[in-house]
Amino acid sequence: MKKLIILLSTIFLACPSFALMDFGSEEIVQAAGTDIDVGSYSVPSFFDWNNDGLDDLIIGDSSGKVRVFLNNGTTVVPAFNNYFFAQADGSDLQVIPSGCLGSFPRIVYWDEDSKKDLLVGSGTGTISIFLGIGEDNNPVFGAGNFVQANSSDISVGYRATSIFEDWNNDGNNDLIVGAFDGKIHLFINDSTNLIPDFQSESFAYMGSSVLTVSSGRSSPIFYDFDCDGKKDLIAGNTDGQLLFYKNTNTVENPVFSNNVALTSLGIPIHLPGSPRSRPSFCDWDNNAFVDVLIGAADGKVYLYRGIPEPSMFIVFLLLFTFFQNKINFVEKVRYLDPK
């Protein structure tokens, strides 16, 4: 029986997001008992900063700096107190802020040296890479350099929201960048993960047209949300939504369908005003379901926990009943005919 439950649970959790096209109620992440507030235009992510086995909260703020809130709770119930600023070249790491974006930080392994690096998009549209130079359990970074394509500094106009993921399934991470114009700017890595090299700019497509996230200020996640083996596009935008664009083509050449708004308790996620939603997926409470953190104009960090659809529990129960009946039948046959 125990083995059966483990087997079915493994099948059920093999692709968590397939079981949850909905999220739970809105929560605001706190530190020391009060809502985290970085002033304005927060950009959160959740990653183990100091290698202690607990994911920590890394937040870009409107000044262009990066705040780190270490997790002093557990993997199931994260807890935070004070923060410190990430350090680069002997001082607070900072990029040039502009308008509604200060810094858009993402921890990456840029040059495969086993040290965390920071990829930071800026409000001015440029992207900087800060390479780790210290111990990986206490990250410190060197002076940042602008990321280039074909020997020129990359600029996507304004509001660079950059991530580093393998877009075309060739084993090399590429630069995927949202921007003020709502497009998804692509810079394919023509070299290796050891020495990333970008030569030209292209764009994500929806059908036969360049994909433009509605209301602009696209903020991308590239993740196989529907568990069909192909990574999809999830994007925040000016209006504070969380939009899902399904990959309807191949893993080598993603092309997307029109968007579907992701929901909280069945209602489309839509932060009030024009908050510039900047999302990041995580597993907040270590339950194998996909959760989402969203930064916004008010400087707070919103959390929506993934919840499985009721229909998936029904499938689970049907599978459990089927296999249990089969086991009972086999046991009965063995009892009647012990040979």
- Do residues 290 and 297 lie in contact, with contact meaning Cβ atoms separated by under 8 Å? no
Structure tokens at 96: 């040039």
- Cα–Cα distance for residue pair 176/266, rounded to 1 Å: 29
What does the DSSP 8-state code read for residue 212?
Answer: B
- Cβ count within 10 A of residue 63: 18
The total number of residues written for the chain in this structure: 339
How far lies 322's CA from each of 7, 52, 141, 310, in Å? 13, 42, 55, 19
Query: Of 70, 90, 65, which is closest to residue 82 (Cα–Cα)?
Result: 70
Query: Of 65, 20, 24, which is closest to residue 42 (Cα–Cα)?
Result: 65
Predicted model pTM: 0.88
Q: What is the pLDDT along the chain (339 residues), one digit of tens a residue?
A: 555 444 444 444 456 554 446 999 999 999 999 999 999 999 999 999 999 999 999 999 999 999 999 999 999 999 999 999 999 999 999 999 999 999 999 999 999 898 999 999 999 999 999 999 989 999 999 999 999 999 999 999 999 999 999 999 999 999 999 999 999 999 999 999 999 999 999 999 999 999 999 999 999 999 999 999 999 999 999 999 999 999 999 999 999 999 999 999 999 999 999 999 999 999 999 999 999 999 999 999 999 999 876 655 455 455 556 656 655 544 554 544 555
- Do residues 139 and 158 lie in contact, with contact meaning Cβ atoms separated by under 8 Å? no
Give the gyration radius of the chain's Cα atoms.
22
- Cβ count within 10 A of residue 209: 8
What's the pLDDT at 112? 87
What's the pLDDT at 5? 46
Structure tokens at 239: 């209006």
